[in-house]
C-alpha cells in the first residue's frame, strides 16, 4: 500500500520581493494524510513562509520543476480558492484574526465568504462553536475573551468550513500555559474527530511531542526530518541551529551518556519518571 | 479596562430594545423633520408627550437621558437666549439697545428649547437602546439604494463593522503602550497643554505602527479564510422586522397625524 500524502511539495523556492537571499530554497517534502507534523526552526528560517506558500497567500510562481499539491490539487492561480477550502490556518495573534463582532459572527465569516445559505449557517455555526467548547460565549464580543478562547473561536471558524488540513502558525505562542494546552487539546480532538491533517509551526519544542513527524528548517531549507525521537537524538545539530532539545530528551541523553540505558520508546516525562522509579526497584 | 463600551449602549430588555434598529434609525431621522410641523402650544405639547412616552418605554433611569442632554445644555440655553433677545414682535416687556424681550421672543425661546431637547432625547433613546453594530447594520440598509450607483455598500458595511470591532483592541493597545512609556518615566497627566501634547507623540507613533501591523495580519487572515470581496457572499447576521416595529410605525404615524390636525394652518 502506498502512503497517501495530502501535501506534496517539490523543489519549491521563494524569494521576498526586496530580499537578496531566498526565504525558501528548493524545498521538497510530503505530509501524510491524517498525520501531525511539527515544523521547527529559529526566526527567519522560512517556516512561516512555507505555510503561506501552501495556501497561496504567497505565490511561488509557476515553474515546470516545482509544484505544490494539496489533496491532489495542484496550486495555481485558478485553484487557489479550492485549496483554501481545504486548508484552515490559525495565526499567531488571537486578536488580529478575529473578524466578526461576536463569536458567532466570526465563526460564520468563512461560511459567508463561501456563499453558504443562512439556513445552513444557522445549523453549522452553533455546532462548530460547541465543538470547541465555547457555546456559552456564542454572543460574546472578542474584548471579553482570553487569548486562548479567541484561538478556540478561530479553530471553530475553520472547523465550520470542513477543511482537510489545519495549520497552526505559532498559534499558541502568545498564550499562557493554560490557554496553550487547551488549544492543543482542542486541535487534537478535532484531528481525531474529523480526520484532519495538522501542521504546527512552533517555537515551543515541547509541543512537538504531539507530532508524528518533525521538520527542522534553517535558512530556507529542511535540515532534517523524521519522527520526533529520531530528530531529537541529533542534539548537536539542533544546538547548532539554536534549538533546544525537549527536556525529557535532554535528560535521556545525559543519562545514557552516564551508562544508564533508557529505551527509545520512552518519550514523555511521565514515562521517564515511571521508568526511573522501576529502574531502582529492579536493582 | 477589559470592558470599554463604545457608543452609549446600555443593556436592557424593554419594548424599545426589541425594535429593529432600522426602524429606530429612520424614526429618529424623520422625527427631526416632523418636529418642524409643530407651530403652536398644542402641537408642542403633543410632541413633548409623545417623546416622554418613548423615553419612559425604554424603562431606563432618567439620569441616562439627563446625561444625554447635559453636554449640550449650554448650547441649547444659548440658542434659546438668542431667540429671546433678538426676536422682534408682539408686546415688548423690556428693551436695551438692540436687545428686547418681547412676547414673540419668549414663545420662540421656549419652542427652540423644546425642539432641541426633544431631538436630543429621542436620539438618546435610539443610541442607548441600540448596539453600535446594529446601528452600523441599519446604516448599511439605508445605503442599499446606492448600490444602483455602484457604491460598494457591502464593503462599507464590513469596514464599519470591523472598525467597531477593533475599537476595544486599539484601546487595549493604547493602554499597554501608555503603561510601557510610564514605566520608563513618561508623564501623561501633568504639565501644561503643550507638555501634555508632546507626551502624546511617543504614544501615537507606536500605536500607529501597531495598527498597521494589525491591519496587515487581519487582511492575511481574511484572505486565508476565503474572503474575496463581495461576490457570492451571504450574511449570517440579518435584521428582521417584527411586531414591535409595527408599534414603532403606528406610534410615529399617530404623532404625525395629530401634529397635522392641531398645527396652525
- Dump pLDDT digits (tens) for B44-93: 999 999 999 999 999 988 888 888 888 889 999 999 999 888 887 778 88
Q: Chain B: residue nearest A91 by CA?
A: B221
Q: Is residue B173 part of a domain?
A: yes
**Contact check, Cβ <8 Å, B221/A99:** yes
pLDDT tens, residue by residue, A19-31: 888 889 889 999 9
Q: Is residue B139 part of a domain?
A: no
> What average pLDDT score do residues A250-259 get?
80
Cα–Cα distance, B170 to B167 (Å, whole number)? 5
Q: Is residue B235 part of a domain?
A: no
- pLDDT recorded at residue B87: 82
Is the domain of B120 the same as that of B250?
yes
Contact residues of A toward B, CB < 8 A: 55, 57, 81, 84-85, 87-89, 91, 93, 95-101, 104-105, 108-118, 121, 125, 141-144, 157-158, 161
Rounded to a whole number, what is the distance in Å from the CA of A52 to chain B's nearest CA? 9
Q: How many CB atoms lie within 10 A of CB A232?
A: 24
Cβ contacts of B87 within 8 Å, gap of 6 or more: B102, B104, B105, B108, B109
Is the domain of B219 the same as that of B248?
no
Cβ contacts of A261 within 8 Å, gap of 6 or more: none
Q: How confident is the model at residue B247 (pLDDT cuts 50, 70, 90)?
A: very high
Is the domain of B185 the same as that of B81?
no
Q: What is the DSSP letter of A169?
A: E
Is the domain of B124 the same as that of B253?
yes
Is the domain of B73 the same as that of B116?
yes
Query: Does the pLDDT value for residue A274 go beyond 90?
Result: no
Query: Does the pLDDT value for residue B1 go beyond 50?
Result: no
Is the domain of B26 the same as that of B101?
yes
Q: Chain A: residue nearest B227 by CA?
A: A113
B236 and A CB contact within 8 Å: yes
Q: How confident is the model at residue B7 (pLDDT cuts 50, 70, 90)?
A: low
Q: Which domain holds residue B170?
A: 153-224
Segment (H or E) for B106: helix B103-129
More confident residue, B231 or B77: B77
B161 contacts in A (CB within 8 Å)? 100-101
Q: Is residue B232 part of a domain?
A: no
Q: Is residue B5 part of a domain?
A: no
> Which among A114, A143, A158 is the nearest to B168, CB-wise?
A143
- pLDDT recorded at residue B209: 92
> How many CB pairs below 8 A link A and B?
98
**Contact check, Cβ <8 Å, B236/A91:** no
Q: Where are the beta strands (DSSP E) in A108-233?
A: 165-169, 197-202, 213-218, 221-226
pLDDT tens, residue by residue, A60-104: 877 778 889 999 899 988 899 999 999 999 999 999 999 988 899
Nearest to A54 by CA among A42, A39, A43, A41: A39
Q: Is residue B66 part of a domain?
A: yes
Is the domain of B248 the same as that of B220?
no
Q: How many CB atoms lie within 10 A of CB B208?
A: 9
Is the domain of B104 the same as that of B176?
no
**Contact check, Cβ <8 Å, B226/A116:** no
Is B24 in contact with B62 (CB distance < 8 Å)? no
**Contact check, Cβ <8 Å, A101/B2:** no
Is the domain of B106 the same as that of B43?
yes
- pLDDT recorded at residue A3: 78
Is the domain of B63 the same as that of B187?
no
- pLDDT recorded at residue B4: 43
Is the domain of B248 the same as that of B127?
yes
Is the domain of B82 the same as that of B212?
no
Average pLDDT, chain A: 87
Q: Chain A: residue nearest B161 by CA?
A: A101
Q: How many domains does chain B have?
A: 2
- pLDDT recorded at residue B3: 41
Give the β-pairing of A165-169 and A197-202: parallel
Q: How confident is the model at residue A282 (pLDDT cuts 50, 70, 90)?
A: low
Q: Is residue B141 part of a domain?
A: no
Nearest to A26 by CA among A76, A64, A59, A65: A65
Q: Is residue B234 part of a domain?
A: no
**Contact check, Cβ <8 Å, B214/A95:** yes
A115 contacts in B (CB within 8 Å)? 232-234
> Which among B218, B223, B225 is the nearest to A157, CB-wise?
B225
Amino acid at each position: 500500500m502506498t502512503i497517501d500524502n495530502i501535501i506534496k511539495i517539490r523543489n519549491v523556492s521563494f524569494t521576498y520581493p526586496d530580499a537578496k537571499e531566498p526565504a525558501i530554497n528548493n524545498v521538497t517534502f510530503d505530509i501524510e494524510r491524517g498525520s501531525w507534523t511539527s515544523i521547527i526552526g529559529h526566526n527567519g528560517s522560512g517556516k512561516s513562509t512555507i505555510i503561506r506558500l501552501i495556501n497561496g497567500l504567497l505565490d511561488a510562481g509557476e515553474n515546470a520543476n516545482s509544484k505544490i499539491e494539496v489533496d491532489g490539487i495542484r496550486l495555481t492561480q485558478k485553484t487557489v480558492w479550492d485549496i483554501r477550502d481545504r486548508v484552515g490556518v490559525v495565526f499567531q495573534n488571537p486578536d488580529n484574526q478575529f473578524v466578526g463582532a461576536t463569536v458567532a459572527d466570526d465563526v460564520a465569516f468563512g461560511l459567508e465568504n463561501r456563499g453558504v445559505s443562512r439556513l445552513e449557517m444557522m445549523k453549522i455555526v452553533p455546532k462548530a462553536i460547541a465543538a470547541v467548547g465555547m457555546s456559552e460565549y456564542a454572543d460574546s464580543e472578542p474584548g471579553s475573551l482570553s487569548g486562548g478562547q479567541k484561538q478556540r473561536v478561530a479553530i471553530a471558524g475553520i472547523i465550520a468550513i470542513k477543511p482537510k488540513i489545519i495549520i497552526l502558525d505559532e498559534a499558541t505562542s502568545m498564550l499562557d500555559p493554560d490557554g496553550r494546552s487547551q488549544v492543543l487539546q482542542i486541535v487534537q480532538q478535532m484531528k481525531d474527530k474529523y480526520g484532519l491533517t495538522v501542521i504546527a509551526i512552533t517555537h515551543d519544542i515541547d509541543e512537538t511531542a504531539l507530532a508524528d513527524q518533525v521538520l527542522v528548517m534553517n535558512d530556507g531549507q529542511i535540515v532534517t526530518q523524521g519522527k520526533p525521537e529520531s530528530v531529537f537524538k541529533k542534539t548537536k545539530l539542533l544546538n547548532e541551529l539554536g534549538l533546544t532539545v525537549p527536556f525529557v530528551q535532554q535528560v535521556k541523553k545525559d543519562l545514557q551518556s552516564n551508562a544508564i540505558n533508557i529505551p527509545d520508546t520512552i518519550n514523555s516525562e511521565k514515562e521517564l519518571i515511571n521508568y526511573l522509579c522501576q529502574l531502582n526497584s529492579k536493582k | 479596562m477589559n470592558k470599554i463600551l463604545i457608543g452609549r449602549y446600555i443593556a436592557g430588555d424593554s419594548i424599545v430594545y426589541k425594535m429593529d434598529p432600522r426602524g429606530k434609525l429612520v424614526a429618529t431621522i424623520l422625527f427631526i423633520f416632523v418636529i418642524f410641523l409643530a407651530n403652536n402650544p398644542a402641537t408642542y405639547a403633543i410632541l413633548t408627550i409623545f417623546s416622554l412616552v418613548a423615553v419612559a418605554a425604554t424603562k431606563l433611569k432618567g439620569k441616562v437621558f439627563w446625561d444625554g442632554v447635559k453636554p449640550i445644555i449650554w448650547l441649547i440655553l444659548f440658542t434659546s437666549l438668542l431667540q429671546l433677545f433678538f426676536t422682534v414682535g408682539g408686546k415688548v416687556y423690556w428693551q436695551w439697545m438692540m436687545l428686547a424681550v418681547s412676547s414673540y421672543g419668549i414663545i420662540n425661546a421656549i419652542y427652540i428649547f423644546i425642539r432641541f431637547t426633544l431631538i436630543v432625547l429621542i436620539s438618546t433613546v435610539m443610541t442607548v437602546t441600540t448596539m453600535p453594530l446594529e446601528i452600523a447594520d441599519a446604516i448599511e440598509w439605508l445605503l442599499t439604494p446606492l448600490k444602483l450607483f455602484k457604491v460598494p455598500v457591502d464593503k462599507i458595511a464590513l469596514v464599519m463593522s470591523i472598525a467597531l470591532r477593533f475599537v476595544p483592541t486599539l484601546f487595549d493597545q493604547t493602554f499597554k503602550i501608555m503603561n510601557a512609556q510610564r514605566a520608563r518615566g513618561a508623564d501623561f497627566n501633568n504639565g501644561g497643554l503643550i507638555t501634555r501634547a508632546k507626551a502624546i507623540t511617543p504614544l501615537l507613533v507606536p500605536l500607529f505602527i501597531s495598527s498597521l501591523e494589525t491591519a496587515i495580519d487581519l487582511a492575511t487572515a481574511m484572505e486565508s479564510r476565503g474572503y474575496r470581496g463581495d461576490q457570492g457572499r451571504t450574511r449570517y447576521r440579518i435584521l428582521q422586522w417584527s411586531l414591535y416595529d409595527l408599534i414603532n410605525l403606528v406610534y410615529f404615524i399617530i404623532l404625525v397625524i395629530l401634529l397635522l390636525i392641531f398645527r396652525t394652518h
